[in-house]
Amino acid sequence: MAKILVTGGLGFIGSHTVVELQNKGFEVVIIDDLSNSSIDVLNRITSITGIAPSFEKLDLKDKPKVQAFFKAHQDIQGVIHFAASKAVGESVDKPLQYYENNINTLIYILQELQKLKTANFIFSSSCTVYGQADELPITENAPVKKAESPYGNTKQIGEEIIQDTCKVTSHLKAIALRYFNPIGAHSSAKIGELPIGVPQNLVPFITQTAIGIREQLSVFGDDYPTHDGTCIRDYIHVVDLAKAHVIALQRLIEDKNTSNFETFNVGTGTGSTVLEVIQSFEKVSGQKLNYKIANRRAGDIISAYANTTKANNELGWKAELTLDDAMASAWKWEQEIRSK
């Protein structure tokens, strides 16, 4: 089968996507600089699939090393690009770090793909490009709004760079997957979300609070114009999300794309409030969570959830796992890693 490069392949979404690629018979090469991941994940992937992916520790900001990698792997037929800094708050404090890491690395990869005979590229984009959308659910035709953070801006700029490159590179085909809020873990509890330091995302903060690592969870605001006053997001199980990447890649390899650059929303199509996520966790875990209502957090939008009709119809992909499934797997994963 085709050889596929997965950048950031030892990260949360990347590792689950590597598993799904291997399940479909693809040969996988992983690049990761281990800045926000662990080499231990490589063995965990192998224990799930029975196949050890090739791995190269490489900082994609090092252009000569990127060039050397592609020179040594000229038979790569596709790239799924996850490698990027991704914390919204941190990006506000360190904008230049985010622009260098997220934009320069993308450019270096695209420059190498231009040299290949065929190039299929899947970009890890985000629903942050929509900001607070005017209409819900959000379709791919919703206007891209001025970004709320440097992180969000790197996703917008990244899409623009890819689109511009596709216009002048006839053999380059690309899909930007705009995903909503990935949560959960693999059913084996061998891979999952493993944030370094204080979690930036809701679900690992919930599971770390439940297991006693964090004293209390703060719910930022209960006075939003939603049915229970807390923010609404579209929480998608990471395994469903990983499968969407594989299907999008197959679309490009099989020349089923309708243009050189396509965008798809990847979500469940259902919005859940912060309190509903907590209630789901309490239901599947059988324990009460220690949380408090805190002041609103700057930069948080009220509500965002996807219209997934385009992905359902054109990709033939649909989210299959529920919020309860995701919370149960996240809790199983948290218990597994803390039992060591």
Same domain, 248 and 217: no
CA dist., res. 4 & res. 124, Å (int): 15
Same domain, 152 and 286: no
For the stretch 136-181, pLDDT in tens is: 999 999 999 998 889 999 999 999 999 999 999 999 999 999 999 9
**Residues identified as active-site:** 151
Same domain, 170 and 306: no
Q: Report yes or no on 189 lying in a domain.
A: no
Residue 163's domain comprises 3-182+236-266
First-to-last C-alpha distance (Å) of the chain: 36
pLDDT of 300 reads: 86
Among residues 221, 244, 266, which one ends one of the domains?
266
Q: How confident is the model at residue 332 (pLDDT cuts 50, 70, 90)?
A: very high
pLDDT of 148 reads: 83
List, in sequence order, every residue forming a beta bridge with 292; answer none if it has no partner. 218
CATH number of the domain at 334, please. Answer: 3.90.25.10
Q: Tally the C-alpha atoms within 13 A of residue 210's C-alpha that lie toward its C-beta.
A: 26
Q: Give every CB contact of residue 129 below 8 A, 6+ residues apart in sequence.
A: 144, 145, 147, 152, 155, 156, 159, 178
For the stretch 193-252, pLDDT in tens is: 998 888 989 999 999 999 999 999 999 999 999 999 999 999 999 999 999 999 999 999
Same domain, 87 and 177: yes
Same domain, 105 and 165: yes
Give the count of domains, the chain: 2
Same domain, 251 and 207: no
CA dist., res. 273 & res. 131, Å (int): 17
Q: Report yes or no on 128 lying in a domain.
A: yes
pLDDT of 246 reads: 98
Sign of the torsion angle spanned by Cα atoms 274, 265, 36, 42: positive
Same domain, 213 and 133: no
CA dist., res. 86 & res. 99, Å (int): 11
Q: Report yes or no on 193 lying in a domain.
A: no
Same domain, 209 and 325: yes
Same domain, 162 and 211: no
For the stretch 60-100, pLDDT in tens is: 999 999 999 999 999 999 999 999 998 888 899 999 999 99
Same domain, 55 and 114: yes
pLDDT of 297 reads: 86
Same domain, 127 and 215: no
For the stretch 275-321, pLDDT in tens is: 999 999 999 999 999 999 999 987 788 999 999 999 999 999 999 99
Mean pLDDT confidence for 255-267: 98
